[in-house]
Amino acid sequence: MGSYCGGWWWRTGLWAAVVLAAAAVVAGGNVTYDGRSLIIDGERKVLFSGSIHYPRSTPKMWESLIGKAKEGGIDVIETYVFWNLHEPKPGQYDFSGRNDLVKFIKEVQAQGLYACLRIGPFIESEWTYGGLPFWLHDVPDIVYRTDNEPFKKYMQNFVTKIVDMMKAESLYASQGGPIILSQVENEYGNVEAAFQEEGKAYVEWAAKMAVDLQTGVPWVMCKQPDAPDPVINSCNGMRCGETFAGPNSPSKPALWTENWTSFLQRYGEETYLRSAQDIAFHTLLFIIAKNGSFVNYYMYHGGTNFGRSGAAYMVTQYYDQAPLDEYGLIREPKWSHLKEMHAAVKSCSSTLLNGVQTNISLGQLQQV
């Protein structure tokens, strides 16, 4: 490691190399993975990602937002897909204006970044109805997010619609496009137990349904410890370097799909302030303690809950304390501090991804 690399890690109180996990590589077109990292075109990657939601900004903002994220050392732009915006009535779709998902992903591609598409289609995201269309209420015998045939029918229709759109525009990495990851469902592990055996069956179905769409890139399920192979289980939270139990298979890498840069805010509540130093420390802890190789900041730009799109009691400013504020202006010191940290990690990436971890005690509460 060079002096810049070593100096930065010592200043943050962290210094390590990590274990190279011996595991079979899982095929996925130009994107594969093993127990250490995603592998893109045969190369291991440490990837920093930032969530920017296309409907929470305007198309005129997208180029600037993505450009500032790139300048800040971001490699991947992550976004949810908003079912209730795109299918306001059954079988009637809207991908215009702020809903133009294809245009957004193509802007990511134009700036040389990767994309992570979190299709859900239940997304939560402090969004009205969690992204589910309200017309689902009118479907006879429907029960949401469980082993229920009416729900599964409409969910599969929408997920297939999005995947087919991305394929038609050659936007998956397997086609030469920027999308290297897709997500199905969202934090279902929080509620799975309430559905008992039907919940488990639903997880199995959702994973198989997604994989069978043959995108050529891996799928993830966040906060889903029992994500079926080959779907990767990932962590959400502020301290995944402490809380993440790890991948549920030695052949899967450690991914952090939501590193919260602030926190959701309801009317009447105080703004949650998370320091740049705390974000950087826990990011590095995840990379070291959990052999992490993919960290997504949720949000990198929160933007605006326009109209009545926010969930109950949510303010219109969404994650305004992110590295880019509601208007897309750089918020310091978060943006610059994280940019410096990204550069330091990248300068060490070969050692991090291929080195052997050694821990040496320096005394009480200190180790190298």
- The tens digit of pLDDT for each residue in 1-18 reads 343 454 544 344 443 333
Average pLDDT over residues 222-241: 98
Structure tokens that stand for 133 in this block: 């269309």
Compute the distance between CA of residue 181 and CA of residue 231 in angstroms, rounded to an integer: 10
Q: Is 340 helix (H, G, I), strand (E, B) or coil?
A: helix
Structure tokens that stand for 139 in this block: 């479907």
Task: Please give the tally of structural domains in the chain.
Answer: 1
DSSP calls for 78-136: EEE--HHHH-SBTTB---SGGG-HHHHHHHHHHTT-EEEEEEES---TTBGGGG--GGG
Average pLDDT over residues 42-65: 97
Domain that holds residue 87: 3-367
Average pLDDT over residues 102-127: 98
pLDDT, position 180: 98
Active site residue 258: yes
Model confidence, pTM: 0.92
pLDDT tens for each residue of 28-48: 459 999 999 999 999 999 999
Let me know: does 226 contact 287? Beta carbons within 8 Å: no
pLDDT, position 9: 47
Q: Which of 124, 187, 198, 340 is catalytic?
A: 187
Please compute, for residue 98, the number of CA atoms within 13 A of its CA located in the half-sphere on the CB side: 16
Q: Which of 78, 87, 126, 258 is catalytic?
A: 258
Active site residue 43: no
- CB count within 10 Å of CB 1 equals 17
Q: Could you tell me the CATH number of the domain that includes residue 41? A: 3.20.20.80
